[in-house]
Amino acid sequence: MGKQLGFLVDTEKCIGCFGCEMACKNEYQAEVKPRWRRVYQQKEGNLPYPERNFMSLACNHCADPACLKVCPVGAYSKREDGIVLHDHGRCIGCRLCTMACPYGAPQYNEKEGKVEKCQLCYQKIDRGEEPACVAACPVGALELIKDLASFPGPGTVKELPGFPDITITRPSVRFVPPRTGIQIRRDAE
């Protein structure tokens, strides 16, 4: 295995505009569902201080992907650069990967009877371009990590409260955590 691509999600910069989600949708699908990239609002109860921030997540192109292991038709593969690809043509729509992925990345498309997920815009990557979501973020809250092994760690964390256990699949994502005590407004109960 060579390098491992990944995402850096800066929760300090993210303003929850959903621009990354829309850019992904514009690039690949017209339907409302599924949503390959999703912006989650952090649950206030997950943090020890009042805060309102967001976490933009898609497939984490894990080092040890559960989807790849459980798929009965071998529709998943991992490229040399770490991107986990899903072969749409091979999928039979058994949905086992949707159950096995801790992050809900593979999603079932009812209309097509198949699962689909973020492919990290591998065609763009191969052309030396940025993924659609990264290019679209207006505040630079989403970045592509070119090689996770040489990515500088200070100031970033591997998980945030509410994020599923990272030891299961070793997701290729890093976060800039929110700073303590900046309250924008409280969530409605």
Partner 1 sequence: MTNWEWPLVFFTVLSQMAVGYLALVVPATAGGKGNHARIYLLPAGLLAAAMVISLAHLGHPENAYRALTHLGSSWLSREVLLFGLTFLLLVFTILVARAANQFLVRVTAVLALGSGLLGILASAMIYVLPARPAWNNFNTVLTFYLTAFLLGPALGLFMQRFSPGPAAGVEGSATGRALALLLVLSIISSLSYLSLLAGAGPEARLTVHALVASPWWWLRVVAGWLAPLGLSYQLYRKGHGSLALTLALLILLLAGELMGRALFYGTAVPLIEGLL
When asked if residue 154 is in the footprint of partner 1 (CB under 8 A), the reply is no
Which is nearer to partner 1, 36 or 125 (by Cβ)? 36
- Which residues, 31 to 60, sit near partner 1 by CB under 8 A? 40, 43, 46, 55, 57
In 101-169, where does DSSP find H-type helix?
122-126, 132-136
Per-residue mark of binding to partner 1, 109-148 (x: CB under 8 A)? ---xxxx---------------------------------
When asked if residue 1 is in the footprint of partner 1 (CB under 8 A), the reply is no
- Cα dihedral 94, 122, 29, 103 in deg (nearest 10): 50
Measured CA distances, 125 to 7, 58, 82 (Å): 13, 16, 12
When asked if residue 63 is in the footprint of partner 1 (CB under 8 A), the reply is no
For residues 33 and 107, what is the distance between their CA atoms, to the nearest angstrom? 9
When asked if residue 93 is in the footprint of partner 1 (CB under 8 A), the reply is yes
Range in contact with partner 1 (rule: CB under 8 A) among 2-10, 87-95, 123-131, 143-151: 87-95
Measured CA distances, 181 to 38, 42, 159, 160 (Å): 25, 14, 19, 16
